[in-house]
Structure 1
């Protein structure tokens, strides 16, 4: 079992433990570590064990625990907030036209899609990036961008003036719609894990087989966590601002609404990223009754483990 997974097995049993460790792992300064230092840290872990805290932190932030591949800098967990925060804010702005809204949505879903792919739980058979996966990923990004820009298109194309409809399209719909699209992004882009399966391990860390059911469970859990993350980040600023802008101070200073909205979204994202990553354990468990018969026939274990990915 990879040292990352062993670490989460012993130190990630409760939500507070996982949240505390993710706060450390998400340190943006880890992005400054050069590739050679990351490789050295991994080599030290392989020879010295997980008691080297700094090395383990570098590996958790930079290396996929299943493949052992170094993750591209832009898709590492410490880069998630700096990269996605401005893109997430751009998708909730009032755009002049549907084209601008579509471009912002496409950039946002392409970035989160790349993160989903780089931090997935790939097996040895799925490390390569086939044409089918490329087409599915591109289609998922374009579909999410189209659906995400649809409210802007309706507003501009039909010049909606009804206050109730404007409230629905501008304030109520974006949060749930973003949550659904982010979950859909994960389900499609990491669909190979459901189709081909992911490696499952016994209590000793030995790989016992590749399970499609475990892959489906891992992707489904990650999709739910991503929906929670971005759905909350989009909903809460609008709800809070709709309340506070009724005060006399904001009525006289409407120009502060935009910056205040941006600050609130970044702050909520900064809090919700470790929450969503910690909500479900990194080292997932699946019961024997849910595993394919051909796998459980060779072992008496009642519970199996898998890397959920991020």
Structure 2
């Protein structure tokens, strides 16, 4: 079993433990570490084998944090810098802010397209690497499905603005629904949709499941389906909450005297949105462990027959 997965299994058993670990692993300063240092830390983890109590040793803890933030646990390759977890917040924040603005329909479509393009690319890079090889990533089916999902999600996300531009909303209730209530669930649902589409080969072809010693027991479609569902759900919670909560909080702040001007209100909304995204990112990643668990009874019959373990493990992805 990869050192990253062993670490999550030993040190990330509860939501609170995972939240604290992700809060450290999402430090943007980790993006400044060179590739040679990342490789040295990986060798340190592989040679030391100190996975029982890694947090008691500061050097080992830093090595693990760098590994968690920079290396794919299945392929053992260094992740491109713009798709590493610490880069997610700096890149997504302006995309989320742009997507939340009441722009023209064409501008809204472009912002949504850029947002879902990055979100989909991030999900693809951090998916389970069981079936990944040079040809797998470049499969025409996955490319076309991904682009189709991104385009569809962008159109659906821009629908409220298209509706507003086409029809005059005379009812305050209709304006409230279209302007305030629809955008957040649409962004959350479409974020989950693009993740599910781009990682669909995982539940179509299956992913590897391992015993507690890291021995590969088999390839399971049911484990792949569970991994994709958990990732899609966490992404929906992340962006659905990030998009909706600032609107609610800003509406209360807007009643204060100091926030009566549009510029002040926009600044307050930006600060609230940044705060919510900063807190929700580690929270959403902590909903499910990176080292996922699945009961042997829930797997395919051939896998059940090949092991006596009651619980098996897999890489959920991010």
Does the TM-score normalized on the shorter chain lie above 0.5? yes
Deviations 1:29-71 (A, max 9, x none): 0001112221222222222224522222111101110111211
What is the aligned partner in structure 2 of residue 12 from structure 1?
12
Determine whether 1:296 maps to 2:304.
yes
Local SS of the residue matching 2:73 = coil
Ranges in structure 1 where 5+ consecutive residues have no aligned partner: none
- In the alignment, the residues of structure 2 paired with residue 241 and residue 55 of structure 1 have an alpha-carbon distance, to the nearest angstrom, of 40
Determine whether 1:205 maps to 2:228.
no
- In the alignment, the residues of structure 2 paired with residue 87 and residue 162 of structure 1 have an alpha-carbon distance, to the nearest angstrom, of 30
**Deviation (angstroms), 1:160:** 3.0
What does 1:44-63 align with in structure 2 at a 5 Å threshold?
44-50=44-50, 51=54, 52-63=60-71
Is the 8 Å Cα contact of residues 27 and 86 (structure 2) preserved in structure 1? yes
- In the alignment, the residues of structure 2 paired with residue 199 and residue 286 of structure 1 have an alpha-carbon distance, to the nearest angstrom, of 12
What is the aligned partner in structure 1 of residue 128 from structure 2?
121
What does 1:155-170 align with in structure 2 at a 5 Å threshold?
155-170=164-179
- In the alignment, the residues of structure 1 paired with residue 126 and residue 306 of structure 2 have an alpha-carbon distance, to the nearest angstrom, of 30
What does 1:204-243 align with in structure 2 at a 5 Å threshold?
204-243=213-252
What does 1:64-83 align with in structure 2 at a 5 Å threshold?
64-83=72-91
What is the aligned partner in structure 1 of residue 159 from structure 2?
150
Q: 1:131 aligns with which of 140, 152, 158?
A: 140
**Deviation (angstroms), 1:189:** 1.0
- In the alignment, the residues of structure 1 paired with residue 133 and residue 164 of structure 2 have an alpha-carbon distance, to the nearest angstrom, of 42
How many residues in Structure 1 have an aligned counterpart in Structure 2?
A: 308
Is the 8 Å Cα contact of residues 126 and 192 (structure 1) preserved in structure 2? no
Deviations 1:188-225 (A, max 9, x none): 11111111111101122211011100000010011111
- In the alignment, the residues of structure 2 paired with residue 160 and residue 181 of structure 1 have an alpha-carbon distance, to the nearest angstrom, of 25
- Which moves more between the two structures, 52-61 or 17-26? 52-61
Local SS of the residue matching 1:279 = coil
- Which moves more between the two structures, 49-58 or 284-293? 49-58
- In the alignment, the residues of structure 2 paired with residue 173 and residue 83 of structure 1 have an alpha-carbon distance, to the nearest angstrom, of 24
What is the aligned partner in structure 2 of residue 141 from structure 1?
150
What does 1:166-177 align with in structure 2 at a 5 Å threshold?
166-177=175-186
TM-score when normalising by structure 1: 0.96
- In the alignment, the residues of structure 2 paired with residue 170 and residue 176 of structure 1 have an alpha-carbon distance, to the nearest angstrom, of 12
What is the aligned partner in structure 2 of residue 27 from structure 1?
27
- In the alignment, the residues of structure 1 paired with residue 223 and residue 82 of structure 2 have an alpha-carbon distance, to the nearest angstrom, of 28
TM-score when normalising by structure 2: 0.93
Ranges in structure 2 where 5+ consecutive residues have no aligned partner: 55-59
**Deviation (angstroms), 1:131:** 1.1
Deviations 1:118-166 (A, max 9, x none): 1111204556311111111111111100100111111112243432222
What is the aligned partner in structure 2 of residue 93 from structure 1?
101
- Alignment RMSD (CA, Å): 1.4
